[in-house]
Structure 1
């Protein structure tokens, strides 16, 4: 299976970076073709330009700055997002990727004003993330990051696709044991991809 891994953390020595390495290693060890898209390493530009916004509904074309990223997304059969939750949302670089690449004609079609999913080749989506705060705090805030994956991304991929959300809550008070247990959980999920 061809799997696009979107990683969004600027620090190579972070726990999130270690999760990213585990994800890529386990997927490759299990024979998957991994397209490893480290948004910071690739210096992805997250800002939607005026021209891009004005052309948002226009048909896509190869000359667009985001075209190579759209092609990578369209080639994927699986999608793994690896990122920290910051301010109850995606890091800006990942949010910018979604704003600039998940466009009409790429991730969805507008048919008579109705959104129809277009990423029908994606059969599995897994989000791997960490929160500074507790699960209770996230719940009380409505846990927007979880909903963005389990509702919004789910609506853009193949109907019935498997969608998993793996979160390590309480990073501010995490221990080596809690982080190791979560790493094992992530490795096991990648082995079962």
Structure 2
């Protein structure tokens, strides 16, 4: 939106909780090839001042994208939102193409990780797996055309409007489902 008072420059980092910072860093380096770039450890939370020791680690996911994790040893054991299916909350990372997606699947399975997919989503294909903290990870390779992405942008608002009224899947992009049957 031009003229909007908030000027975003992208995502600085997305942060999640982990059970063990060292194990998490090792896994993301070994399985996904991420660079471990930064760590902060504090006994007091800078924003609130409360005592809650933590280790905050940062990994480079490429192209200026950073994923971060907090290990919180004084907090109750981490869990999941019991009212949200495991497939909903996930981190999705882009890979360059379908060949890279298939090579990643082979490598990740070779690391002993169960991988689901590839799953066809019309304009991209994905694989899914879980990190050692129980976070679902998706790797996605875009396969759509400029025309398909333009059409999805065109129907985005009508789809949202219809969903808001009916809470049923609008059929504005049925062509995506037809493509997945190929």
Q: TM range, normalised to the smaller chain? A: 0.3 to 0.5
Q: Under a length normalisation based on structure 2, what TM-score does the superposition of the two structures give?
A: 0.33
| Larger gyration radius, structure 1 or structure 2 | 2
Name the structure where strand makes up a greater proportion of residues.
Answer: 2
Higher relative contact order (CA 8 A, sep 6+): 1
